[in-house]
Amino acid sequence: MAPQDARAGSLETEAGRLAIRGFSQDDAVAYEDGPASADGTGRYFMGREIARVMSHRGAAWLERPDREREERPAVLIRALDLKPDDVVADLGAGTGYFTFRLAPLVPDGRVYAVDIQPEMLRIIEERATTEGFDNVAPVLGSVTSPGLRPQSTDLTLIVDAYHEFSNPSEMLASIFEATRPGGRLVLVEYRAEDPDVPIRRLHKMTEAQARREVEAAGFVFVENRDDLPQQHLLVFRRPAE
């Protein structure tokens, strides 16, 4: 099962994607260069410094034994309220920690495990083959797009990854395009408002900052569920057409 390119039929350029929604490239992209923090890139979006990407060499941390206790992934998954035929994108899938928790819940649907690192996708591909997950499709994305067809997903889940996106404006525009009208984007990020959350500053986000960035892409905020010990669980929806 090689990583899939699910982009057949999508628009050819990012400018075209943005134009469909009434934006020009300049409207959507507002980046600034500034001082780089120890964990940062020196690239700023809406006042937030973008964090460095965690390499595939840190894959073991994603599967750490304490993650169940720290993040309560089962609670997160239940909060998604998935239907058996939902098509889900696990964006920034990493090792597939959530991909393989989502797949059994959508037996008549599909989980696109999207990552920009081929090394991560090989881990997912090997496990999907070994364990017989026929509804898991690894997808090699880019820094500006998940590489999914327009209006192909019911839900996009991004867990502890959005803050590392080097081109969040373009990525959000592409996610919006890939989401069916009425579909959801769920963003999970460590709470920057809580000084007791033991995560480096650039790897946390406030609700206000996350909402400002995601709503600018056209998504409508639905709720921030207070279900998780250390993370925001922010639900957005693409307006129905």
pLDDT at 169: 97
**8 A C-beta contact, residue 188 and residue 155:** no
Q: Say which amino acid occupies 166.
A: S
Q: What is the DSSP letter of 79?
A: H
Measured distance CA(157)–CA(115) in Å, rounded: 12
Backbone φ and ψ for 52, nearest 5 degrees, come out as -70, 150
Residue range 48-74, pLDDT digits in tens: 999 998 655 455 555 556 767 677 889
Task: Tell me the pLDDT tens digit for each residue of 84-103.
Answer: 999 999 999 999 999 999 99
* CA-wise closest residue to 188 among 122, 120, 57, 97: 97
Provide the CB-side half-sphere exposure for 99 (13 A, CA): 31
pLDDT in tens, 187-235: 999 999 999 998 999 999 999 999 999 999 999 999 999 899 999 999 9
Domains and CATH numbers, the chain: 29-237 (3.40.50.150)
pTM of the full predicted structure? Answer: 0.86
Q: In angstroms, rounded to a whole number, what is the distance separating the alpha carbons of residues 5 and 21?
A: 23
